[in-house]
């Protein structure tokens, strides 16, 4: 079943992304050669009357793509100039490129809303719930109901922010600043080294509140706030990777995602829905980064064009995207290697 879940989750998030590009391209009058669901060999294709696009179903139901005239800053001589992407106004090209990312975020908001509507909107406030015995934290002065507002001198915005910063500090003694009533207190304690499923890790011996709020308005608020919180978390991860506080080995590739999906499936269908929302936000966020071959890389050249008042040289841009794609493939091989190593640890 894990394989089926893997295919569905990646298939949905990537197809939704490509559909965003496709929809805005069509609205802008850009000639679209093909809209494909899945990758690999062609299984079936169909045409709509009066529509130039070929709709294709492919063998491997993971992702998809849309092929547009002029997308790679090349001249499509058989296509009328006014239907090529590069002939369109700047704002239409911008919206077409960014639409995939926006559709990923919209998908995440919808899924998070459904989760909160069914099971309640969980609080994102880092409030202490339980404190276990036998840990350094037991006698640290930390109390149930304390609101965490700082970690090792850094401000804590919400529970997502706290959990990420705690992960960065894993294995180290930490100092929490907590609010108790109208007063603030500092508590310091160290984690205990434990083994979980045969793997060594660290446990601090406390948990956060899982209080939930029910209702449509609470679900809407949760969906938007959680999406923003996860986007902020991803930006912090990029910062921690750039500053060496997180290692590239902590990133998960396809094999790592497959393993995570398998673990989430054990906790129920809503966990898988949440994971789909999380992956969709990841796909959108990563595509926004100014990396060649990604949407963000194309947006970068589009912004440069706006600033300088003329398009960037087509051959130069295509070369940059090609080099970027090769480097991304090398990074993916490295991440996949780490995924495989973790499987045998």
Alpha-carbon distance of 177 to 122, in angstroms, equals 23
Alpha-carbon distance of 169 to 246, in angstroms, equals 10
Distance of CA 158 to the CA centre of its chain: 18
Do 287 and 296 contact (CB within 8 A), yes or no? yes
Q: Which of 18, 71, 132, 263 is catalytic?
A: 18
Q: Is 102 exposed, middle or buried (0-12, 13-18, 19+ CB in 10 A)?
A: middle
- Least Cα distance to 222 among 149, 333, 114, 308 occurs for 114
The values of phi and psi at residue 47, to 5°, are -125, 150
- Least Cα distance to 74 among 87, 65, 61, 63 occurs for 87
- Least Cα distance to 287 among 64, 102, 88 occurs for 102
Q: Any catalytic annotation for residue 77?
A: no
Beta bridge partners of 196: 199
**148-179: string of b/e by CB count within 10 Å (b at 16+)?**
bebbeeeebbbbbbbebbbebbeeeebebbbe
Name the one residue in this structure whose structure tokens are 């970027």: 324
Q: Which helix (H) or strand (E) holds 72?
A: none
- Least Cα distance to 145 among 124, 130, 127, 162 occurs for 127
**Catalytic residue positions?**
18
């Amino acid at each position: 079943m894990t394989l089926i879940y893997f295919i569905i989750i990646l298939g949905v998030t990537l197809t939704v992304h490509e559909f965003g590009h496709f929809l805005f391209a069509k609205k802008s009058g850009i000639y679209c050669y093909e809209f494909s669901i899945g990758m690999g060999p062609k299984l079936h294709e169909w045409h709509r009357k009066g529509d130039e696009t070929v709709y294709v179903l492919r063998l491997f139901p993971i992702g998809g793509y849309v092929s547009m005239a002029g997308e790679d800053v090349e001249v499509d001589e058989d296509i009328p100039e006014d239907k090529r992407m590069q002939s369109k106004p700047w704002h239409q090209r911008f919206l077409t490129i960014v639409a995939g990312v926006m559709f990923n975020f919209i998908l995440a908001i919808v899924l998070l809303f459904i989760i909160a509507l069914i099971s309640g909107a969980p609080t994102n406030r880092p409030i202490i719930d339980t404190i276990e015995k036998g840990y350094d934290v037991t006698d640290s002065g930390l109390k149930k109901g304390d609101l965490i507002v700082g970690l090792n001198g850094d401000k804590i915005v919400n529970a997502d922010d706290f959990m990420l910063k705690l992960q960065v500090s894993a294995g180290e003694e930490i100092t929490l600043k907590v609010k108790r009533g109208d007063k603030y207190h500092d508590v310091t304690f160290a984690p205990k080294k434990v083994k979980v499923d045969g793997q060594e890790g660290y446990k601090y011996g406390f948990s956060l509140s899982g209080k939930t709020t029910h209702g449509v308005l609470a679900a809407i608020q949760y969906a938007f706030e959680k999406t923003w919180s996860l986007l902020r978390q991803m930006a912090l991860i990029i910062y921690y990777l750039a500053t060496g506080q997180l290692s590239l080995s902590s990133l998960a590739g396809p094999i790592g995602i497959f393993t995570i999906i398998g673990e989430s499936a054990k906790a129920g269908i809503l966990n898988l829905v949440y994971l789909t929302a999380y992956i969709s936000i990841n796909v959108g966020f990563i595509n926004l980064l100014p990396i060649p071959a990604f949407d963000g890389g194309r947006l970068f050249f589009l912004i440069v064009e706006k600033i300088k008042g003329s398009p960037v040289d087509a051959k130069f841009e295509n070369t940059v995207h090609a080099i970027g794609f090769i480097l991304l493939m090398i990074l993916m091989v490295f991440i996949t290697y780490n995924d495989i190593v973790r499987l045998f640890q």
